[in-house]
Structure 1
Amino acid sequence: MKLKLAFLTLFFFAACSPYGSGSLDNQNPLININTIRANLQLLSSDELEGREAGTRGEKLAAMYLASQLRQYGVKPFAYSNSRDGVDSLNYFMEFEATKISILPASYIMIYDSLSKKETPMTYGQYFVNFHDQLVNCNIQAPVVFAGFGITAPEYNYDDYAELNVKGKIVIALDGEPQTDDENYFDGEIQSTYSSAQFYKRHRAKELGAKAFIVLAYDGLRSKWDDYIDYFRTSKMVFNGEYFNADDPERLPFFYANNKFFENLLTGSEHSYDSIRSLVSEKKDPPRFDIKYVNFKLRMDTKATSTKAMNVVGIIEGRDDKLKNEFVAIGAHFDHLGTNDSGVVFNGADDDGSGTVAVLEVARAFSRSHDNKRSILIVFHGAEEKGLLGSEYLTSESTAKPFQLSQIVSQINIDMVGRESADSIYVIGSGRLSSELKTLNENINRKLKLFTFDYTFDADDDPNRYYYRSDHYNYARFGIPVVFFFDGMTTDYHKSTDDIEKINFPKIEKTATLVYNLAQKIANQKKRLKVDGK
């Protein structure tokens, strides 16, 4: 009853919001900045409690999105199991998950037996890990620095050759030896040995280490402060994929920042700066026991069952044959919730901006009916927990009223409400279909909306944005995708990502571009040609 009352209050609040006229009405009267602004005012309000997956705030947001789709005439297009076991159509595609919380008792204590000094290192501020790396532990052990933490016999390279790491905590650098010789560790290209996740931690475990801590990779290390609150929020995995955090076979594994390494190596025979200097000169790092230093490492987690959801609707195509093919348009509607102090992370840009843009595109198509193929509207849930909502939707085992093969393209809008209104980052448009990239550029040129920036689309982009939003779960099945992004970093994953900073004309222009692009794809005689990898 309380949830329904809260929803009705919020819906009335949004419906009564007064705003001025749009700025692009002459260009596309179907896209209206008034509606965009009113929808975002509600979705980014404190009343939705940060929209964290598996919480009351997420449910309120999902109910609001479904009510708007219903009001626009967008039909529900997800399965909901009824009591008699018969699947019926619903807006909510729910999935069960396990929520994993990091408890405040998680920390590392560095004890220097020479100076008798204790240096506490709190989780989030100095070291972190991801959802599939969580493990409960309470370890006290000496520490060893193992260079890059690599054994590569084919290159006659072994960081562990003169080290005994059994029963110790292993510390290592990120990456691998850098060289101009393309036949040695693949030259400047990172080999599989560089992966802490898939190689280094397993090598440390083979040698009997009690825990493994690696210097975080550049993309994480350079934006550490932006990620602190994200790492402190609860993690989430699908039910059935949850591991036993008390499993003695799981090696505790963490990423650490520069400050961690500086504190650890203070007073040792090799300083952190001197080690980094050697590496930058393409010289081998030292390997040594860190004398007089002991670690106390404690990690405590709590697992609870929960549910998260996607919100799915469809605008049926007007061509009897082509309507069985879909142009998918999506954004993630979840965010980070609240922190331990009760501060709300409203996520106005991330991804309230994309969510309201998709809502407006749905409203436009429901009014124009100018689509031969059907338009699949998807508000993905649990994106902030590891793209779980889009992974669930695209899974072959998920019951749904359509097949993945029916989707001809997916357009993803994730953060489009900040920075200049005249430019936007475009990611992935030509990776699987050069035709999609050409269409996108031609439509943008015709409408004179943006300057496209492809910086983050480069294969060697250290941010790896192509792999970090929901479109990727479509792309990995060969579906052509395009991802629109504003590149905002100032308030990324911070409580300051609020509506007061939103650039509404940019959202309006993005919605206009997406509507016209989706319309073009929906009305072509043939599906987009897939000619990429």
Structure 2
Amino acid sequence: MKKLLHLGSALLFLANTVFAQKTIPPALNSIRTEDLKKDLYALADAHFRGRSAGTLDELKAAMWLGEQYRSIGLKPAGDDGTYFQYFTLWRNHLDDRSSIAINGKALTLWDEVAVSQMANSMLDAPIVYLGNATEVNLDAVDVAGKVVAMEANPEGINSNISLPTWRYGRSIFAKYGLPLVRKGAAAIIFVADETAEKAWADAVENYKLGSYDIDGGPNEHVTTTVPVMWLHAEAKEKLRQNNATLQANLLIKKYPYPSVNILGVVEGTDSRLKSEYLLYSGHTDAHGVRNEIKNDSIYYGADDNGSVDVALLANARAFVKNPGKRSVIFAIHGAEERGLLGSRYFTAHPTVPLAQVVAVLNGDMIGRNTPDSAAVLGVIPPHRTSLELVNMALEANREGPNFKLDTEWDKATHKEGWYFRSDHLPYARLGIPSLMYTTLLHPDYHTPQDNAENIDYPKLKKMTDWMYRTGWKVANTDQRPASEKDFKLER
């Protein structure tokens, strides 16, 4: 009996050992918290001045990342035998020669008047004041060819969203301005309410930047061909008399900046599968130097998205140490914050055949919030591109970090619509199985307080492990993850 018990114990031990070998990727121990921390303190340092897209700061950070690729041992996967794929970033910017006046009195641009939507325009026309936005019958009002003005109102506008000071003006325009543009308004003026006044400084920093796009298609954030302007609340008394006129000469300059994707590859070991690719995705840029918040003006972008970039470096070290059967590409995209421009460019100009990319594991902000919670987007239809890929990610979570997963942010009805705001999206739209790993938003999002000091490094390590565990499964499964039949994104 004792021999049978010993034999049973031995078999159980053997079974557990085999199971452990199946569920622990071979180079997991090469992912180290101290490496993640060292790399993130370097990438999110003031030296790179917030890595704003289209600036030397973004390019310097890209060179630093390329040097990390080289030292890790990745092979170049960019253009011309390099780690880099450069592309032209077109900025549409309001020319300094532009002028705006009311009743002949010139207004100081960005201080007394802000232009939230640009259009080349020369106007000298009366302003039709419609009153408070909530009192306007948008269906009945005749605005064709007119300059119309109304007072903003937060009623019905969801203020419980991320970046409310950045997005309030956009929300007001979508609710009240866009219908008037469709009805033929020549220009729209919003008079700031209390909410807009509080948001003015942050919003103006965004308006000053203008809009961005790449060759081959406009940025999806460009939504109108008529100018949209904001005035301070004090302008209401002048406008409500309906005898004011607008004189505006708005000129848009369009000029190019360079941006870049950083691309490295670990070749697979299987003669048949090495021509297929798993693609890890992050983005280089943050928001540069902007308006001061809490005595700092550098938007370091440690969580967004330095946390993912250093996780990709750690995953790269693991795959260099123990390659999988499939090849693995590490793509850190440029200009994500300008409208997913780097990932849009790569999917239009891939350096490997897109048909051979079997899955995309994208990350966006993976180093903050409660230690035991996280999310992966792309699990719930209509966002789900591949049930098989989802199952691999969920299994990897159970085998490793065992996070409590928040599924609310993955729903098509979620107010943030965050699935549509990161670099997996251009791949998913092509039907490539894609996921987005995240620990979700926090109050320091897009502020100078998103710095390396505020990262939860043990949690970042667990998220990095999870991405590696998933990637190891994808890189070694005999059959590529099947795409969802008739996949179609809805919003």
Give 1:31 deviation, angstroms. Answer: 0.9
Give 1:264 deviation, angstroms. Answer: 6.1
* Counterpart position of 1:252: 226
| Equivalent position to 1:406, from 346, 356, 361 | 356
**Alpha-carbon contact 2:118-2:210 (below 8 Å) kept:** no
Whole-angstrom CA distance in 2 between matches of 1:336 and 1:390: 18
CA RMSD of aligned residues (A): 4.1
**Alpha-carbon contact 1:210-1:251 (below 8 Å) kept:** no
| Equivalent position to 1:338, from 272, 285, 289 | 289
Give 1:147 deviation, angstroms. Answer: 9.5
**Alpha-carbon contact 1:229-1:494 (below 8 Å) kept:** no
Could you say if the C-alpha distance between residues 241 and 428 of structure 1 is closer, same or farther in structure 2, counting changes exceeding 3 Å? closer
* Counterpart position of 2:32: 32
Whole-angstrom CA distance in 1 between matches of 2:229 and 2:411: 25
**1:411-441 Cα deviation digits (max 9, x unpaired):** 1111112211211122113411122222211
* Counterpart position of 1:291: 242
* Counterpart position of 2:396: 443
Matched, 1:423 2:407: no
Give 1:442 deviation, angstroms. Answer: 1.7
**Alpha-carbon contact 2:281-2:360 (below 8 Å) kept:** yes
* Counterpart position of 1:92: 84
* Residue aligned with 1:51, SS: coil
* Counterpart position of 1:486: 439
Could you say if the C-alpha distance between residues 376 and 27 of structure 1 is closer, same or farther in structure 2, counting changes exceeding 3 Å? closer
| Equivalence map 1:233-382=2 (5 Å) | 233=209, 235-239=211-215, 251-254=225-228, 291-295=242-246, 299=250, 301-339=252-290, 343-369=297-323, 371-382=324-335
Residue type of the partner of 2:331?
Answer: V
* Residue aligned with 1:339, SS: strand
Provide the TM-score with structure 1 as the length reference. Answer: 0.70
Structure with more helix by fraction: 2
**Alpha-carbon contact 2:177-2:188 (below 8 Å) kept:** no
Could you say if the C-alpha distance between residues 447 and 203 of structure 1 is closer, same or farther in structure 2, counting changes exceeding 3 Å? same
Could you say if the C-alpha distance between residues 265 and 328 of structure 1 is closer, same or farther in structure 2, counting changes exceeding 3 Å? same
Matched, 1:203 2:157: no
* Residue aligned with 1:323, SS: helix
Could you say if the C-alpha distance between residues 455 and 294 of structure 1 is closer, same or farther in structure 2, counting changes exceeding 3 Å? farther
Whole-angstrom CA distance in 2 between matches of 1:382 and 1:255: 26
**1:350-406 Cα deviation digits (max 9, x unpaired):** 11111111111111111122x1111110000011111110000001xx2x4311111
| Equivalent position to 1:142, from 103, 106, 126 | 126
Give 1:526 deviation, angstroms. Answer: 1.0
Could you say if the C-alpha distance between residues 240 and 432 of structure 1 is closer, same or farther in structure 2, counting changes exceeding 3 Å? closer
* Counterpart position of 2:346: 393
Could you say if the C-alpha distance between residues 359 and 298 of structure 1 is closer, same or farther in structure 2, counting changes exceeding 3 Å? farther
Residue type of the partner of 1:93?
Answer: Q
Could you say if the C-alpha distance between residues 339 and 367 of structure 1 is closer, same or farther in structure 2, counting changes exceeding 3 Å? same
Could you say if the C-alpha distance between residues 517 and 160 of structure 1 is closer, same or farther in structure 2, counting changes exceeding 3 Å? closer
Could you say if the C-alpha distance between residues 441 and 165 of structure 1 is closer, same or farther in structure 2, counting changes exceeding 3 Å? same
**Alpha-carbon contact 1:146-1:160 (below 8 Å) kept:** no
Provide the TM-score with structure 2 as the length reference. Answer: 0.75
Whole-angstrom CA distance in 1 between matches of 2:61 and 2:107: 39
Residue type of the partner of 2:127?
Answer: V
Whole-angstrom CA distance in 2 between matches of 1:222 and 1:485: 30
**Alpha-carbon contact 1:330-1:377 (below 8 Å) kept:** yes
Residue type of the partner of 1:502?
Answer: I
Whole-angstrom CA distance in 2 between matches of 1:268 and 1:446: 64
Give 1:297 deviation, angstroms. Answer: 5.2
| Range that drifts further, 380-389 or 426-435 | 426-435
**1:262-282 Cα deviation digits (max 9, x unpaired):** 66656988xxxxxxxxxxxxx
**Alpha-carbon contact 2:25-2:472 (below 8 Å) kept:** no
* Residue aligned with 1:474, SS: helix
Gaps of 5+ in 2: 1-23, 157-173
**Alpha-carbon contact 1:125-1:228 (below 8 Å) kept:** no
**Alpha-carbon contact 1:409-1:479 (below 8 Å) kept:** yes
* Counterpart position of 2:76: 76
Give 1:25 deviation, angstroms. Answer: 13
Whole-angstrom CA distance in 1 between matches of 2:111 and 2:439: 26
**1:428-481 Cα deviation digits (max 9, x unpaired):** 134111222222112111214311111111111121111111110100000111
Residue type of the partner of 1:55?
Answer: T
Give 1:143 deviation, angstroms. Answer: 3.2
Could you say if the C-alpha distance between residues 170 and 215 of structure 1 is closer, same or farther in structure 2, counting changes exceeding 3 Å? closer
**Alpha-carbon contact 2:401-2:465 (below 8 Å) kept:** no
* Counterpart position of 1:277: none
Whole-angstrom CA distance in 2 between matches of 1:332 and 1:251: 30
Matched, 1:169 2:151: no
Matched, 1:497 2:434: no
* Counterpart position of 2:427: 474
Whole-angstrom CA distance in 1 between matches of 2:376 and 2:218: 35
Could you say if the C-alpha distance between residues 61 and 253 of structure 1 is closer, same or farther in structure 2, counting changes exceeding 3 Å? same
* Counterpart position of 1:510: 463
| Range that drifts further, 448-457 or 509-518 | 448-457
Whole-angstrom CA distance in 2 between matches of 1:125 and 1:476: 41
Residue type of the partner of 1:411?
Answer: L
Residue type of the partner of 1:144?
Answer: V
Could you say if the C-alpha distance between residues 35 and 410 of structure 1 is closer, same or farther in structure 2, counting changes exceeding 3 Å? same
Whole-angstrom CA distance in 1 between matches of 2:451 and 2:112: 24
